[in-house]
Amino acid sequence: MSYEKVEVPEKGEAIEFDGEEISVPENPVIPIIYGDGIGVDVAPAAQTVLEAAANATGRDIAWMRVYAGEHANEQYGEGEHLPDETVQAFEQFHVGIKGPLTTPVGAGFRSLNVALRKKLDLYANVRPTYHLDGVPSPVKDPDAMDMVFFRENTEDVYAGIEWEAGTDEVQQVREFVEDEMGFEDVMHENPLGIGIKPISEFGTKRLVRRAIDYALENDRDSVTLVHKGNIMKFTEGAFRDWGYEVAKEEYGEDVITEDTLWDQYEGEQPAGSLVVKDRIADNMLQQILTRTSDYDVIATMNLNGDYISDAAGAQIGGLGIAPGANFGDGRCLAEPVHGSAPKYAGQDKVNPTAMILSGRLMFEYMGWDDAGQLIGDAVEEAISSKQVTYDLERQIEGGEKLATSEFTDVVVENIEELS
């Protein structure tokens, strides 16, 4: 495959996918998008740390710079926010990483993050949320937080099916809803915008299936389906029902529902079993604070997943340290949870931890668990020794404030000492 603006590394090899498993060479080609705003700071930092961990475990990375957002405009011309060959690169090489991309509020182009997820069918946005030793937290026991969020990535209101107030299109939709469907009593006077919230059985079941598989593979106790099905009965309520169908019909006796747990086992979870349960979304937002240790793996829809995982991230110190990755069949695109924060761009001051730990998720998907563990240990060592960037230093008594590049150097030194 040829590229116009992208240079394919000569020495690296492509990761292969046979329809069931990926095959990772010792020197894989890894596409990377720096992203907008602070992406110019955190992406090179992540590259440096990931490369150090790979080298320390006898491997190498052939980085392939691809473009989206502001940098794509520079390379391809104004208005080219997501070039075709960027998508092609991730399709060809299967595994990659990206920095934050800016999404305008209210007007302008739609989310590039959402566009990439949909084009590549990266249907599971996975966000592990755990506390790193030394990170200040607003809660009494941040170590109780150890959840992994599986957020459906292609449906819900993020599908982008909506019509702007005052347009001919919104009027057509309104007339259909009022005249054909009989919902006149819920439609306010113009102007109004209208959006559609699609939730499918297919999209729900593959997301829940992936969450259950993860929980079983990693010896987790429970998977919780989070929804607002008491109000949105045929979308979020259906998500709940379809999720339970997966648990009941596709897994053996080791996967039980919460009803079965109480009806047959009097609430005492059998050893080696996995419990699938559900919670209403607004209740869950307080449950993660008041009963944190009761939850392990969370499976939910797009919008709920965004809200709840961010709230959980606050409990372990904020989004500056919150990693994430998007998964499809034979594909992984790692990305930090935080946004682009353009006012700090290029100042060499922001915290690169979230993107570094997102790279750790990418390594784990590639089967490089040893390199991933090195990264986690090295980052935690830096923070616990109070060598941190400004966002944490101002909260830590006796902390040493480091620039982004200085913090990166400390993490790399830790990797070298630990390996």
Q: Any binding-site annotation on 360? A: no
Angstrom CA distances, 222 to 56, 210, 211, 261, stand at 35, 13, 10, 11
Residue 233 annotated in active site: no
Q: Which of 67, 76, 158, 365 is catalytic?
A: 158
- Please answer whether residues 2 and 33 qualify as being in contact, where contact means their C-beta atoms are separated by less than 8 angstroms: no
Residue 330 phi, psi dihedral angles, 5° rounding: 75, 20
Residue 340 is labelled as binding a ligand: yes
The verdict on whether residue 117 carries a ligand-binding annotation is: yes
Chain mean position to CA 284: 19
Task: Return all residues near 221 (Cβ < 8 A) that are at least 6 apart.
Answer: 215, 269, 274, 275, 296
- CA distance linking residue 77 with residue 83, whole number of Å: 10
Q: State in Å, rounded, how far the first CA of the chain is from the last one.
A: 37
Residue 338 marked as a ligand binder:
yes
Instruction: Identify whether the C-beta of residue 210 lies closer than 8 Å to the C-beta of residue 327.
Output: yes
Query: Cα-Cα-Cα-Cα dihedral of 258, 262, 265, 271, to 10°?
Result: 30
Q: 401 with 389: CB under 8 angstroms?
A: yes
110 labeled binding residue: no
Answer yes or no: 306 catalytic.
yes
Is 209 flagged in the annotation as binding? no
| 341 annotated as belonging to a binding site for a ligand | yes
Is 344 one of the annotated binding-site residues? yes
Q: Which of 228, 296, 365, 409 is the catalytic position? A: 228
Q: Is 228 a catalytic residue?
A: yes
Annotated active-site residue 158? The verdict is yes
351 known ligand binder: yes
Q: What are phi and psi of 220, to 5 degrees?
A: -85, 155
Other CB atoms within a 10 A radius of the CB of residue 199 amount to 21
Place of tokens 């668990």: 369
Contact by Cβ (8 Å): 28, 15: yes
Is residue 127 annotated as involved in ligand binding? yes
Which of these is catalytic: 221, 241, 282, 377? 282
Cis peptide leading into 191, omega within 30 of 0? yes
> Any binding-site annotation on 343?
yes
Q: Which of 41, 306, 391, 409 is catalytic?
A: 306
Distances (CA, A) of 281 to 130, 190, 226: 20, 31, 5
Locate the DSSP E strands across 290-399. 297-300, 325-328, 331-334, 387-388
DSSP 61: -
Which residues participate in the annotated binding site for NADP(+)?
A: 102, 338-344, 351, 390, 394
Residues involved in catalysis: 158, 228, 282, 306
Residues annotated within a binding site for Mg(2+) = 306
Binding residues for D-threo-isocitrate: 111, 113, 117, 127, 151
Binding residues: 102, 111, 113, 117, 127, 151, 306, 338-344, 351, 390, 394
